């Protein structure tokens, strides 16, 4: 059986890390695409040359031609511009919307059967735009944010409780970043919900609130430290987890920016929800009942995403 083909659209910080991870995990052959000449070719060659030491079997190709992504099983999109210090994700809207148009058209022409994972910010709006421009089925186009937000939450919780990250689960909903909704009663350590751990004296509500806020600001914290770009190791790892779930039909329960039509009372919009990812792409959306506080936070998050999508629609007409 031929190896799966993984197309990475954007060969910057995240794109390069995705290629390295995909190779190390032998998920398939990798094509790195970018408009910058030499960048994808150089990264592909560099990663290929790590193969003999690491012992992986995966072909790496760098390209500036969309024809090379032909027949890709998975496309992970990071093309665009990342945040600089002081810049919000929304500032990126206009620039990256134009990028999504060319990427969407490239995928539609050459890899229409792929499972597409968008990472470009502002995430919830860009995944909507990518779906519109590509015309692919909604269940085959999703965005990576929830896996990263919950990984950050899990990391901070594991430090607070001094336990393995493997035993910490986290449940997040809503848009990426500032309006993310962490559901503490569904987040656990060894199956024990966080509110119970507060009652048991493992932490305090104030400390838990601070961890939630640090998680929401997780992207900005790294932008502030790096000064020249945004996070790339954890975002790449998160997207690879989603790609692997699809390629191996793992039916993983993962939060992602998925097209929600009916669940959570929403009519056809992309927002972060818990999903099941398997060979059918986003196979299911897990529709849980929210309490009043969580619903209020989720509504706020949904409004923020809607605002961004409306802004995109305003700009989109000028791109035609």
Instruction: Kindly list the residues in this chain that would bind ligand A3D in the complex (CB under 6 A).
Output: 9-15, 34-36, 39, 78-80, 82-83, 96, 99, 102-103, 119-121, 123, 144-145, 148, 176, 219, 229-232, 235
Q: CB neighbours of 59 closer than 8 A, spacing ≥ 6?
A: 3, 29, 30, 48
Q: How far is the CB of 147 from ligand A3D (least distance, A)?
A: 9
- Known binding residue 89? Answer is yes
CA distance 297 to 309: 19
Residue nearer to ligand A3D on the CB measure, 78 or 215: 78
**Residue 202 CA to chain centroid, in angstroms?**
31
Q: How far is the CB of 145 from ligand A3D (least distance, A)?
A: 5
Longest Cα–Cα distance in the chain: 58
Partner residues linked to 141 by β-bridges: 116
Residue nearer to ligand A3D on the CB measure, 236 or 302: 236
Question: Catalytic site residue 176?
Answer: yes
Produce one character per residue of 123-143: b if its CB has 16 or more CB atoms within 10 Å, e if not. Answer: bbbbbbbbbbbbebeebbbbb
- Known binding residue 120? Answer is yes
- Known binding residue 121? Answer is yes
Kindly list the distances between the CA atom of residue 68 and the CA atoms of 72, 79, 122, 172, 281, in Å, as whole numbers in the listed order: 9, 16, 27, 36, 23
Residue nearer to ligand A3D on the CB measure, 121 or 187: 121
Phi/psi of residue 264, each to 5°?
A: 55, 20
- Known binding residue 35? Answer is no
Catalytic residue among 110, 155, 176, 259: 176
Q: How far is the CB of 315 from ligand A3D (least distance, A)?
A: 16
Q: How far is the CB of 74 from ligand A3D (least distance, A)?
A: 17
CA distance 173 to 256: 9
Partner residues linked to 75 by β-bridges: 7, 116
Instruction: Give the CB-nearest residue to ligand A3D.
Output: 12
- Known binding residue 64? Answer is no
Partner residues linked to 143 by β-bridges: 118, 257
Residue nearer to ligand A3D on the CB measure, 118 or 302: 118
Q: How far is the CB of 148 from ligand A3D (least distance, A)?
A: 5
Which residue from 36, 59, 35 is spatially nearest to 47, judged by alpha carbons?
Answer: 59
Residue nearer to ligand A3D on the CB measure, 197 or 305: 305
Which residue from 305, 259, 309 is spatially nearest to 281, judged by alpha carbons?
Answer: 259
List binding-site positions for NAD(+): 10-15, 34, 96, 119-121
List binding-site positions for substrate: 83, 89, 121, 152
List binding-site positions: 10-15, 34, 83, 89, 96, 119-121, 152
Q: Write out the catalytic residue numbers.
A: 176
């Amino acid at each position: 059986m031929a190896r799966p083909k993984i197309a990475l659209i954007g060969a910057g910080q995240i794109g390069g890390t995705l290629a390295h991870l995909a190779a190390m995990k032998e998920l398939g052959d990798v094509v790195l695409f970018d408009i910058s000449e030499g960048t994808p070719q150089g990264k592909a060659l560099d990663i290929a040359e790590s193969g003999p030491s690491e012992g992986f079997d995966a072909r790496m190709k760098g390209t500036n031609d969309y024809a090379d992504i032909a027949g890709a099983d998975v496309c992970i999109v990071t093309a665009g511009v990342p945040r600089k210090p002081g810049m919000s994700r929304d500032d990126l809207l206009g620039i990256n919307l134009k990028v999504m148009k060319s990427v969407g058209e490239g995928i539609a022409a050459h890899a229409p059967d792929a499972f597409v994972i968008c990472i470009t910010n502002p995430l919830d709006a860009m995944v909507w735009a990518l779906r519109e421009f590509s015309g692919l089925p909604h269940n085959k186009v999703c965005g990576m944010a929830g896996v990263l937000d919950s990984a950050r939450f899990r990391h901070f919780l594991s430090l607070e409780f001094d336990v393995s990250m493997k035993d910490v689960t986290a449940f997040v909903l809503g848009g990426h970043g500032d309006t993310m909704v962490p559901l503490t009663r569904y987040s656990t350590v060894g199956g024990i919900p966080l509110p119970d751990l507060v009652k048991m004296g493992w932490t305090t509500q104030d400390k838990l609130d601070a961890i939630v806020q640090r998680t929401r600001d997780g992207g900005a914290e790294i932008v502030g430290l790096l000064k020249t770009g945004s996070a790339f190791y954890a975002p790449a790892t998160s997207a690879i987890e989603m790609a692997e779930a699809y390629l191996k039909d793992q039916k993983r329960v993962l939060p992602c920016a998925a097209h929600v039509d009916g669940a959570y009372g929403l009519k056809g919009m992309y927002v972060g929800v818990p999903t099941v990812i398997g060979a059918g792409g986003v196979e299911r959306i897990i529709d849980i009942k929210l309490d009043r506080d969580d619903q209020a936070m989720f509504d706020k998050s949904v409004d923020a995403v809607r605002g961004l999508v409306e802004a995109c629609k305003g700009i989109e007409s000028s791109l035609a």
